Amino acid sequence: MSTSTVTPELRKTPLYAVHRQMGAKMVDFGGWDMPVEYSGLISEHMAVRTGVGLFDVSHMGDIQLRGPESLNAIQHLCMNDAAKLEGGQAQYSAMLYPQGTFVDDVIVHKLSDNDYLIVINAGTREKDYSWVKTNAQKFHCHVSDYSDYYTQLAIQGPKAAETLQKLTKVDLSTIKFYHFKWGTVCGLPNTLIARTGYTGEDGFEIYIPSDEATSKRVWEEVLEAGKEFGILPCGLGARNTLRLESALSLYGHEISETINVFEAGLDRFCKLEKGPFIGSEALQSVIAEGGPTRKLVGLEMVDRGIARDGYGVFNESGVQIGSVVSGSPAPFLKKNIALAFIPKDYSALDRQLFVQVRNSMVKAKMVPIPFYRRPKKQS
Amino acid sequence: MAYPANYRYTREHEWIEIDGKTGKIGITDYAQNSLGDIVFVESPKVGAAVKKGEVFGSVESVKAVSDLYSPITGTVTEVNEELVSAPEKINTDAHASWIMKVELSDPAEVETLLSAADYEKFIAEETGK
């Protein structure tokens, strides 16, 4: 087998030294030197599904739009309808190119009237910021990049609320999914506590000052608070398998500058009826021309073999009809799953397809996505 | 983790334990550790010909696929079926979890492989990079 090593000029989060000290394996992720796993990907994945896990997601970016026309700017830049947001509410959305494909997917937080925070992906930070800056120019609003001001921690899993509750007086049960509040966390006043995440579980993301000492202290306090629930620090490896089981999009895979909203199956977050925005015209023509020609589907491997990113998808006659964009073993489901783009007319579930795994054709079938849905709360 | 002194090693992180004219082949502890949780082992068929330095199978962790390179030329006489249902055994004890047994065509090839001491020096350089 062969191995690769991390190149030196990568960016680091304020918790870099902590990750190293904890023995994390590091990996280059979009130009960032990030932990890929600590104790092991499978155990970290399972901790989030059954208990709680802690992620350093400080590589994510934060752009704030402030001013009397900030809502207009957001509406112009993003496909979801931000006018529906109340203060303290967040929304999954995306910024599109004029051709209806993706600049990035984002979470829009309405901090208050005339004040919005957009959380963006790590690999697209610079591109996103200049995109927002350029396209918000004609509106009376101020665009600021706060990415380096915050350490962002994600506390995820069915025991996330109980864990974080020990560290704050804010009653977390009053924060609904995709809502947020400010409060004191680990003695830090005015901390943004959002009930958001990228794992398919209940959980929170908190935004704390990015100095190393504070970041380390809060990281350790969360781990201590979650100890009784078997908390594990989790790396990007588990983050990826968790989001894949939940069929959440990853930039460069299910969404990209060559994939449009309908192909990605994100129609429900795209509100053409709110009025024109960047990309809306192109999407209207896609509809007028009969809809997208390909679609994102879930595959489950029937025979032994693991589908990986980029592998070809074939029909019964051996004709290639598409390719896998994300494929991996699913640690909680204990199946080998994949997301793939295939022609729209291959839509019947349970339809038999094949994935070319190196030299052999391995049987797969289409299954509904998400592959995993978290159980409804008992109480 | 100790690297058994009676094994020989490759720079691609395989080990071989020679017993007369046959060799047992697996991946090193360093390899299993860099791969992470192993979920799949693809072994050759019994009777297959393998060649020194050429791919004979693969191991997959949750996050990656890695080719396996044969340390030696010969014919596969046995594969470890246990690894089909329990590939994680490689993570638990890489140096006891052989993947295939090979009857050597040219036992002299063994001399070109790394000793335990040389292999340990090699991985120290790899990790020190």
Question: Which helix H or strand E contains A42, and what residues bound it?
Answer: helix A41-50
Q: How many CA atoms lie within 13 A of B100 on its CB side?
A: 29
Average pLDDT score, chain A: 95
Instruction: Assess whether the previous peptide bond of B71 is cis (omega < 30° from 0).
Output: no
Closest chain A residue by Cα to residue B36: A40
Q: Is A226 left (phi over 0), alpha (psi -120 to 50) or beta?
A: alpha
Minimal CA separation from A288 to chain B, in Å: 41
Give the closest of B12, B36, B62 to A2, CB-based.
B12
Q: For residue A2, list chain B residues with Cβ-Cβ distance below 8 A.
A: 12-13, 66-67
* Residue carrying the six token digits 């690297």: B3
**Residue A189, pLDDT above cutoff 80:** yes
User: pLDDT of A67-91, one tens digit each?
Assistant: 999 999 999 999 999 999 999 999 9
Q: Where are the domains of chain A?
A: 16-57+149-245, 293-367
Cross-sheet strand order for the sheet of B38-42: B38-42, B55-61, B65-69
In angstroms, rounded to a whole number, what is the distance separating the alpha carbons of residues B97 and B104?
19
**Residue A352, pLDDT above cutoff 90:** no
The full set of domains in chain B, from first to last, is 13-128 (2.40.50.100)
At A10, the pLDDT band (50, 70, 90 cuts) reads very high
Backbone angles phi, psi at A251, to 5 degrees: -60, 135
**pLDDT number for residue B121:** 96
In angstroms, rounded to a whole number, what is the distance separating the alpha carbons of residues A323 and A318?
13
User: pLDDT of B17-29, one tens digit each?
Assistant: 999 999 999 999 9
User: pLDDT of A124-168, one tens digit each?
Assistant: 999 999 999 999 999 999 999 999 999 999 999 999 999 999 999
**pLDDT number for residue A350:** 66
Q: Residue A173 in contact with residue A120, Cβ under 8 Å? A: no
Helix (H, G, I), strand (E, B) or coil at B110: helix
Given the candidates 3.30.1360.120, 4.10.520.10, 3.30.1490.100, 2.60.40.10, the CATH classification of the domain at A16-57+149-245 is: 3.30.1360.120
Q: Which residues contact A254 (CB under 8 A, 6 or more apart)?
A: A264, A296, A325, A326, A339
**Residue A378, pLDDT above cutoff 60:** no
- DSSP designation for A264: T
The answer to whether A36 contacts chain B (CB < 8 Å) is yes
At B126, the pLDDT band (50, 70, 90 cuts) reads confident
Burial A113-129 (b: 16+ CB within 10 A, else e): eebbbbbbbbbbbeebb
In angstroms, rounded to a whole number, what is the distance separating the alpha carbons of residues A182 and B82?
54
Q: Residue A289 in contact with residue A282, Cβ under 8 Å? A: no
**pLDDT number for residue B75:** 98
- CATH superfamily, domain A293-367, is Aminomethyltransferase beta-barrel domains (2.40.30.110)
At A8, the pLDDT band (50, 70, 90 cuts) reads low
Q: How many CA atoms lie within 13 A of A216 on its CB side?
A: 11
Helix (H, G, I), strand (E, B) or coil at A181: strand
Minimal CA separation from A359 to chain B, in Å: 11
Give the closest of A237, A305, A358 to B62, CB-based.
A237
Give the closest of B27, B62, B129 to A1, CB-based.
B27
Q: For residue B59, list chain A residues with Cβ-Cβ distance below 8 A.
A: 1
Residue B65 Cα distances to A350, A359, B32, B61, B82, angstroms: 27, 14, 12, 6, 20
> What are the beta bridge partners of residue B74?
B50, B104
Minimal CA separation from B123 to chain A, in Å: 11
In angstroms, rounded to a whole number, what is the distance separating the alpha carbons of residues B80 and B42?
10
